[in-house]
Structure 1
């Protein structure tokens, strides 16, 4: 399915209210065909809703590859990796989805050659789960280990002591933590 898909049919283009009115119309003794024409709902839809007691909107299009639980598990894993300062790129998310589907033997249409889930799958997955996956920010191991509650509290305690003792004006405060020597590995695009 292309990413800029636009609906081209009128299938399932009726509302629940129209369906209720049509069924009430049929129960008053009118034919299903007459109700179909009057309320612009297909004959077979009305017949199935009337006699088989099928409810709800019709299911149009292909379903998702993973169940709701599987998608929640993948979402939780992506968020966990991000919280551990190891964000995943879109390519890595697609690879993880393919490997997960293969491991669980879930039928899919993912590429067997590239061993990746498709870009369209990724777009739908991100929209369904309100995620945003971008190039992760490079973070050094020193920054990760130094960023904890105790270290941050110590830093701000020391900063408060120095600021109250020395009374620096704001224009005399500089950020001097950049040394020009990198300890950070670039995660790539």
Structure 2
């Protein structure tokens, strides 16, 4: 996948979620920027995430992010890689140790544009996060990275209790529950 394929996917991406629809044009325009996949683009840049679920669609794998102090899906910066599926897989494997990851669909599962707070030497900026749906074996041992405080399979019924209000995670959870993409 390269920026042309991503742009085409974004231009054809349809969602019933208003907040997500509002992002599509911004994402498609960003594909034209030569620095879109690099942290050097200080206003904002692409990231990629893996929404990982077990095969029975009862649990999702979340990490308690060390820098942000919130439960999130696994993912990270593109760092120049225009293949965001590769980025999502690499980040998920690095952050979880999972080797059983299976991409359910190469189409975009979800998108979210969110602000990242200022830190020393890094100004406040946007992450244009492209998410893909993955399955993994819930019984495979997890290996937590230094980027996490905790890493756990969370039952769909407990996600809201764990994360509080995070509309993008709740949206992905709802999409998974309603998904036509089954086993």
TM-score between the two structures when normalised by the length of structure 2: 0.21
- Would you tell me which structure has more helix in proportion to its own residues? 1
- Would you tell me which structure has more strand in proportion to its own residues? 2
TM-score between the two structures when normalised by the length of structure 1: 0.21
